Structure formats: structure tokens, C-alpha cells
Chain A
């Protein structure tokens, strides 16, 4: 069972309160009507699926009902940090700083 820190509730809560929502920071093609099938498939289907550090989205389903991001090791399952949508993780400091406007969700 993972113990996950929700950056909105500012609390650690048990995994059962959350839903996993896949790889984070995947940008939707700017012009979906004119992108190629391969570009569209990249967006919809293909994933990094790394063995190791992974930036991913979680949803606090039965808490604040907000989406946020996490950096988690897919081998050890250790959660390095969690951060709000629109923020960049500050790994070195172990905390998260707000940099509005960069890399939305």
C-alpha cells in the first residue's frame, strides 16, 4: 500500500483514496485536426513506461478530488515527491516550488 502526500490537502493519505492516472506531462497535439496518425497515436497510446523514475498523475478521488503529479520509482515504488499541476518539482530541496505556467499537468 502506497502512502501518498496530496499537495493540495497537504497530508499523507493511504493509496485507496487515490486513483492512478498515467504518465504526466503529455502534451496534446496543438492542432489535432492536422497532426499525423503517428503523432496522434504517440499522444493517445504510446508511453515511456520506464523501469525507474516516472513522472505520473494521481487523482485524490475521495479527498479533494484534484489531480496532481508525482515522481515515483517504478522499481522500488518509492515516491520521491508530489507536486501540484502547473508546478515543477524541486527534487534537490525535497520540496516543490511554484513556477506558474510551465508544463501544465
Chain B
């Protein structure tokens, strides 16, 4: 692999950028792998990368039914933060945050991680109490956070309507300065290129249609395009399609798949240099480096696999954004889309072995897993390599729904993000 550098950029300029090496190979799948990862989103690709990099397991394939990163990875609103309430979740997301901070260097790929800070607005007394509680919990866990009053929020975001004229006036916010955004598809591409360089086979257009078992242990997968591929261990990282995969071995997961929509405006000049989220009026917004306003909606209530939702859902989102930012009332929207998110009853992921030996799931990230991409891959790789849960993954096992040890992050997960 040719490393990317400014020198390389200059060199390739001389040949009009026509001789760049392909970012990854396009191999024909082998008959057998030590580990097969199903799902070529950010989490699956990160898992493959850390398997090869940290655990030296390189006989690995990532099977993706569409194209790499074409699922939720390239459909999300790219917010990265780690200010979750409970220790288990806070540690997991903060583990990820630390990996984000060195990720572009590590992958030799600019993932455009921009620590521009995230504001979670409070509009009621109860909001502010919850914010105080969460920020205090964060600080005890070594995670940066501050409670701001309305005046401080106004100073950070002059275009935000912090007046008393709104239906739900802004009373303050939690502020995580190290939080921010990253370029989502660059994250998929960066992990893909780095994994490929370590010998991982990335197989696109390869849909898994069955998981094969023998005596209660998974032995391989059946694919639509390339037939049977056997594997020592299988990791399913298919987000909204997790129940479909689980169903192949007769497993029922505590998940529901919902459409989650987002939209971007036409590009405008820089006007918003941080991320603003509000649980109460229910919207979240940032501005991409290209200039478009990136706006996320809430989930559609019904179970849906169609990667599209209902119009009134995005209409309500726009209303919320305008309540916060009347200045955007005449900005035109450019594109709108949906992803399928796998929501879990406690708004926390499942990173777990299953009753089927050698079959593991990493799912349930729902509306907020982009921020966890490197950390999720890192702990899931360790789980797959050793056959037992990484300490950070342990609380997120499937059996928590039987024991009752749920990790209720509905407060910190709040709006979809």
C-alpha cells in the first residue's frame, strides 16, 4: 500500500492524479476464513482492522451485500461524543473517543475528525437537573463536560434563539468540548483500506442468506453470490438487519428495526461551528465542511426495513430546527434519506456471544453508533479473537435482558444521534 502524504499528493499532481493506487483489492473469496465478518459498515470494517492489527488474525473476510459503508455508516449525521450517563456506557464511548483522537494518523487516512464540541440543550428545570447529573457523572469518569447557562450558550452560538420568545426557551446546556463530527464515509474507507493492507479480504456484493450450524456451533455462511464460505468464528455486524441474520439460526433478539431519517441543506457559508442537539424540541444540527446543514430526525414509530420513513417525521424535525434557529427559515433542503436502525430496549448496544457457539453479534447501536465505530470494532475484535467478551463489552451481553442488568441510556441517547 502506498502511504498517503503531502509529498504523494504533489507527485501525483504531476500525472494529473491519474495513477493513484486502488484503495483496496477486490478479491475472490476463499473457501475458508478464520473469521468471517458479516456487514461492511464502519463497525464491521473496524472489527476486521483491529483483528488483523491487534490480534494478528489476518485470514479474515468482510462480507457486504451492497457496497462498503452503504448502510447506516454513510447515512448518519456524524455526531461523535462520549457523555453518556452510566459507567458501562461512558467507558465504552470514551474508549472510542480516545481512538478517534488518533484515528487519522493510525489509518493514514483523513477521517476529518473535528472536535468542535457538542451542546445538549436544556429547556426545562428537569432537563437542567438531568444535565447536571450527567455532566457530574461524566466528570467522575474522567470525561470532559461542563454545564452552561443560557448566556454562555448564546455566546457559543450567536444564531441560536435563546430569547424568552420561544415556546421552550433555552435554559442552558451540557457542553462536551472534545466531542464533534467526523466524515462518515471516510471512516469506512479508512478502515477498509487499512484492513485490506493487512490482508483482510473485503468482499462486496456478497449477501449472506444463511448461517450454517453443526451440533449447536456455527460453521460458516451461505452467500447468494459466492456459495458456501466456512469460518472458525462469525461476527454479525449488520445493524438494522440483525434480526434477519439471527433468525437464520432461530434466535430472537430484543431489537426493533426502525427507519431513521436525515437531510442536508444546500451548502451555505460557515455559520454554525459546533453541534447543537435538543432532546426536548427534538432536533440536532451541525454544518459540514462543505457547508450544508446536516439535520437529523427522530425514528419513525413503525418497524421498517425500507430505508425510508414518513414525511411528517422530517416535517416535525424541520419545525424543531426552526424553533431553535429562525434564521434558517429560508434555507433550502437538498437531499433527504433514511437508514434502518436497530433499537434496543435500553438504548445500548449488544456486543455478545450467542447460544450458538462461534457466532457473535455486535448490534443494537440503534440511532447512535457512529460515534462508537472505532471502539466497537476494537472491543468486538478482542471478543472474536479470544472467544470471550472484552472487559468493556462484558456488560453489553445478550443475557442482560434475562438478568435484568439493563443499562438505561435513554436520557443520554435522548434524540436520535
Contacts and interface: CB of A to CB of B under 8 A. Distances in A.
Main DSSP-derived SS at the B contact region: loop
Interface string A1-32: 11000000000000110011011000000000
Contacts of B243: 47-51
B301 interface: yes
Contact of A37 (B241, B304, B404): B404
A76 B306 contact: yes
Contact of B305 (A37, A48, A74): A74
A24 B56 CA distance: 47
B252 interface: yes
Contacts of A46: 252-254, 401
A93 interface: no
Contacts of B306: 74-77
A9 B305 CA distance: 29
A49 B253 contact: yes
B256 A47 contact: yes
B197 interface: no
A72 B358 CA distance: 35
B255 interface: yes
Contacts of A47: 243, 252-256
B127 to A, nearest CB: 24
Interface string A31-51: 000000110011011111111
Interface in A35-82: 37-38, 41-42, 44-51, 54, 56, 72, 74-77
A22 B303 CA distance: 8
Contacts, number: 68
B310 interface: yes
B302 A75 contact: no
B244 interface: yes
Interface residues of B, number: 24
B247 interface: yes
A2 to B, nearest CB: 6
Contact of A42 (B252, B304, B305, B403): B252
A23 B253 CA distance: 13
A49 B247 CA distance: 9
A2 B302 CA distance: 10
Contacts of B70: none
A15 B310 contact: yes
Interface in B253-282: 253-257
A50 B304 CA distance: 9
B254 A45 contact: yes
A45 B304 CA distance: 18
B116 to A, nearest CB: 35
Contact of A19 (B256, B301, B303): B301
Contacts of A74: 257, 302-306
Contacts of B256: 22, 47, 49
Interface string B318-356: 000000000000000000000000000100000000000
Contact of B254 (A41, A56, A76): A41
Contacts of B302: 2, 20, 56, 72, 74
A59 B254 CA distance: 22
A72 B257 CA distance: 14
A77 B307 CA distance: 11
Given A37-B404, A44-B401, 16 more contacts: A1-B310, A1-B311, A2-B310, A15-B310, A20-B302, A20-B303, A47-B243, A49-B257, A50-B243, A51-B257, A51-B305, A72-B302, A74-B302, A74-B303, A75-B305, A77-B306
Interface of A: 1-2, 15-16, 19-20, 22-23, 37-38, 41-42, 44-51, 54, 56, 72, 74-77
Interface of B: 241, 243-244, 247, 252-257, 301-306, 310-312, 345, 401-404
